[in-house]
Amino acid sequence: MKLRLILHEKCKKKCEGCCNKDWNIPMLPINNGYLGYEEILLTGGEPFLTPKLLKKVITEIRKETNTPIYIYTAEPNYNVFFEILNLVDGICFTIHDNFELKKFKQIDIGLSIRRINKSMRLNIFKDIEIGELKYGGWKIKKDIEWIKNCPLPAGEILKRYG
């Protein structure tokens, strides 16, 4: 079982198909431990809007378990991205629209000049052209579309950070 943990609802984007509109986040169960999961997926809102909280949660998880931790982001904070990447097992970056391309390109260049041995996933929404990538380690899914009512993938449980 995988834990998908919503850290907070903060996000600057207001995406039309955002899953947070479909879930009643305040009514989700509060997570009370990290043992027993095969993966822990940190999401939001946008996790990188609160880097101190993100680091705090990662530290809490690491005190309990060495379970792989992945961060789901669409708008990472470049100033702390590589520091936080060192603390986790990977990042899943989703490009919903062209606004995110500039930040993504900065991250891509930064990854290409560092020796990164992490899981780096890239989801690209339909009709987005990203051009040439500098970092060769991306696992890419193209032509992503919004899924109505945002069903959780099989084998995942959704909770919120308390």
Domains of the chain: which residue ranges?
Answer: 2-160
pLDDT number for residue 89: 98
DSSP E strands, 19-160:
39-43, 69-73, 90-95, 119-125, 138-144, 156-160
Query: Which pLDDT value is given to residue 102?
Result: 83
Task: Give yes or no for residue 20 having a pLDDT over 80.
Answer: no
Question: Average pLDDT over the chain, rounded to whole?
Answer: 92
Residue 161 CB partners (closer than 8 Å, separation 6+): 5, 6, 7, 8, 30, 31, 53, 57
At 100, is the pLDDT very low, low, confident or very high (cuts 50, 70, 90)?
confident
Q: What is the pTM of this model?
A: 0.93
Nearest Cα residue to 85 out of 128, 31, 137: 137
